[in-house]
Amino acid sequence: MQARIKARTAAQWSATFLDALGQVTNEGLADRRLRMSQCNELLSRWNAADRKLVLCDYDGTLTPLVRSPERARPTRATIDLLQRLGDASGVDLAIVSGRDRETMDAWFGGLPVMLIAEHGAWSSGPAAAGGQREWIRSANLPDEGT
C-alpha cells in the first residue's frame, strides 16, 4: 500500500479526489423532476389529508443563497405566499433556518407560521394575538454557559 501511495504525486492524488468529488456532486445535482403520475399521486394524498405539515427551509430554498446574509431578506412575494399558505385551512407551516430567532421574528413575526431558528435550538408556534411569540429552547441542548 505504501508503494501505491508513493507512486503518485500530491497533484495526482488531488486530481483524483476532485474528479471523484465532481462525480458525486454532479449525480447529486442531476435533474430529478417528478413524473406526472407522481405529481397526481402527491396531489391526491394532499387533498385527502385532514392536516398538512409544510416545512420550508429558508436560505437557498425560500430565498436564493447570497454572499451577504443581510441581503437575504424575504421579498414581498415570498411573505405574501407564506401568509396565504399559513392561512390555508388544515395547513401547519414552519420556516426552518439557521438564522437567529431575532432575525426570524423580525422577518416572519407577523405570519401565521411556526418558526424554527438557530438550526433547531429555538422554536416558536404561530404568534399569539398581539403579535408576541413564545420561543422555546430545545431540551436537547447543553445548559447555557457550559
pLDDT tens-digit series, residues 79-101: 999 999 999 999 999 999 999 99
pLDDT at 33: 77
Identify which of 81, 55, 71, 130 has the alpha carbon closest to the alpha carbon of residue 103: 71
**What domains does the chain contain, in order, with CATH numbers?**
52-132 (3.40.50.1000)
pLDDT tens-digit series, residues 54-71: 999 999 899 998 888 888
The H-or-E segment that residue 93 falls in is strand 91-96
Give residue 36's identity as a one-letter amino acid code: M
pLDDT at 11: 76
Catalytic residue of the set 31, 50, 57, 105: 57
Compute the mean pLDDT over every residue in the chain, rounded to the nearest whole number.
86
pLDDT at 14: 73
For the question of residue 50 being annotated catalytic, the response is: no
Higher-pLDDT residue of 56, 130? 56
Q: Which grid coordinates belong to 49? A: 389529508
Confidence at 145, pLDDT banded by 50, 70, 90: low
pLDDT tens-digit series, residues 12-32: 777 777 777 776 655 555 667
Return the DSSP state at 32: -
**pLDDT higher than threshold 60 for residue 45:** yes
pLDDT at 59: 92
Cβ atoms of 58 and 99 within 8 Å: the answer is: yes
